[in-house]
């Protein structure tokens, strides 16, 4: 009797290795870090809903990143938390703001590290929204100029790439124009092109101290029910000059990643967000799943679906496992 014998290629680790279709590399992984403006540069505070992740003072961050680089860290993305917040989020573009200082310090210590910055106002505004607010409304066009200034200030501090995550319309074009006129025509933009209004950002908002003080982000972030809208967002960002595109969150949106992998030839990133991290950590801490198996399974799945790059809070840990 002849029938398909799939097991022939699963018999030994060697054979499985030979026919493995998707492999994670250290170059695929981007570790997010939260840097706090503090009096004590060695400040470190664990984030309760994200076991293993911390808010860092500047010197502590540099120390931590150094250790991660010894393990093979290639790239990181920074989220700054300023001491003071105001209605326009002015610390976002302050020349000596916490993010700008962190970029400069990291690049001084580690010129080879790829430092990406998150460009958004929500960590810097007193109301916690990603743009300027009038009454209950988040204003689109007046926000663009502030985002552009923020991106330019990150570039001046030495960032290797900027990643606008605010979901205002027209922001990629505004950021591109500001970078070009500031002499940074070679600095790439990683656009959070397809960002859903997700419940999975919960722990991040504790980490970045940025929960919206009224309402939610549904007037600017995407409806999880929508697929075609992702194509429209991508088309707009490509036309405006994005160099890389991101889908966020990752695991609930693997279909979108697959669709976009086929629709664009730009590098594609996926963000395994705070809530995805928290779920795995919580289940693993209870002994309900095996952490390493599940982490590698999710990251492999995200890559298999079409991501070239993965922003994940597990990056440091995975680098440790790879050694
Ligand atoms: C800023 C931003 C957020 C995340 C990344 N950049 C929060 C939000 O949109 O509310 C979430 C990342 C995560 O949950 O890990 N706008």
CA-123 nearest atom, ligand 1: 1
Asked: is 22-322 a CATH 3.20.20.140 domain? The reply is no
CA-202 nearest atom, ligand 1: 14
d(CA 127, CA 131): 9
The percentage of the chain sitting over the pLDDT mark of 90, rounded to a whole number, equals 99
pTM of the model: 0.97
163 lines ligand 1 (CB under 6 A): no
Question: Atom 7 of ligand 1 has which residue's CA nearest to it?
Answer: 201
> Residue with structure tokens 């501090």?
157
316 lines ligand 1 (CB under 6 A): no
150 lines ligand 1 (CB under 6 A): no
CA of residue 150 to ligand 1 center, whole Å: 17
CA-118 nearest atom, ligand 1: 6
Section 288-295 average pLDDT: 98
78 lines ligand 1 (CB under 6 A): no
Reported as a single tens digit per residue, the pLDDT across 141-176 is 999 999 999 999 999 999 999 999 999 999 999 999
90 lines ligand 1 (CB under 6 A): no
Section 298-313 average pLDDT: 98
What average pLDDT does the structure give for the chain? 97
For residue 1, pLDDT beyond 90? no
Reported as a single tens digit per residue, the pLDDT across 58-74 is 999 999 999 999 999 99
Number of neighbours of residue 283 by Cβ within 10 angstroms: 14
Which are the catalytic amino acids? Answer: 195, 248
Q: How much is the pLDDT for 265?
A: 97
Closest alpha carbon to 305 in 260, 266, 254: 254
Q: How much is the pLDDT for 237?
A: 98
Q: How much is the pLDDT for 112?
A: 97
CA of residue 122 to ligand 1 center, whole Å: 9
307 lines ligand 1 (CB under 6 A): no
- CB contact at 8 A, 253 and 196: yes
CA of residue 204 to ligand 1 center, whole Å: 6
The percentage of the chain sitting over the pLDDT mark of 70, rounded to a whole number, equals 100
Question: Atom 6 of ligand 1 has which residue's CA nearest to it?
Answer: 165
Reported as a single tens digit per residue, the pLDDT across 3-48 is 999 999 999 999 999 999 999 999 999 999 999 999 999 999 999 9
For residue 85, pLDDT beyond 90? yes
Tell which one of 200, 201, 219, 252 to mutate to probe ligand 1, the residue whose CB is within 8 A of the most ligand atoms.
201
Q: How much is the pLDDT for 84?
A: 96
Section 207-222 average pLDDT: 93
Tell which one of 208, 212, 275, 277 to mutate to probe ligand 1, the residue whose CB is within 8 A of the most ligand atoms.
208
- Segments making up each domain of the chain, as ranges: 22-322
122 lines ligand 1 (CB under 6 A): yes
End-to-end CA distance of the chain: 45
98 lines ligand 1 (CB under 6 A): no
């Amino acid at each position: 009797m002849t029938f398909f014998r799939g097991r022939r290629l699963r018999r030994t680790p060697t054979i499985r290795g030979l026919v493995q279709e998707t492999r994670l590399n250290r170059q695929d992984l981007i570790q997010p870090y939260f840097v706090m403006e503090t009096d004590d540069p060695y400040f470190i505070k664990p984030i309760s809903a994200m076991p293993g992740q911390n808010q860092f003072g500047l010197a502590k961050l540099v120390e931590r990143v150094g250790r991660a680089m010894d393990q093979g860290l290639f790239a990181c993305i920074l989220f700054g938390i300023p001491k003071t917040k105001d209605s326009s989020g002015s610390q976002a573009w302050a020349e000596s703001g916490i993010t700008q200082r962190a970029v400069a310090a990291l690049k001084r210590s580690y010129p080879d590290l790829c430092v990406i910055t998150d460009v958004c106002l929500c960590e810097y505004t007193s109301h916690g929204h990603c743009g300027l607010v009038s009454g209950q409304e988040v204003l689109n066009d007046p926000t663009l100029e502030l985002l552009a200034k923020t991106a330019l200030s990150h570039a001046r501090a030495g960032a290797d790439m900027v990643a606008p995550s605010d979901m205002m319309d027209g922001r990629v074009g505004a950021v591109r124009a500001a970078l070009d006129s500031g002499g940074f025509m070679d600095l790439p933009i990683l656009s959070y092109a397809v960002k859903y209004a997700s419940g999975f950002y919960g722990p991040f908002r504790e980490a970045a101290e940025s929960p919206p003080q009224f309402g939610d982000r549904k007037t600017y972030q995407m409806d999880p029910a929508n697929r075609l809208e992702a194509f429209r967002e991508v088309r707009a960002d490509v036309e405006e000059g994005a160099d890389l595109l991101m889908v966020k969150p990752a695991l609930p949106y693997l279909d979108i990643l697959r669709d976009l992998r086929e629709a664009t030839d730009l590098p594609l990133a996926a963000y395994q967000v705070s809530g995805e991290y928290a779920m795995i950590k919580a289940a693993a801490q209870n002994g309900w799943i095996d952490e390493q198996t599940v982490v590698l399974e999710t990251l492999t799945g995200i890559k298999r679906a079409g991501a070239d790059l993965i922003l994940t809070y597990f990056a440091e840990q995975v680098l440790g496992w790879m050694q």
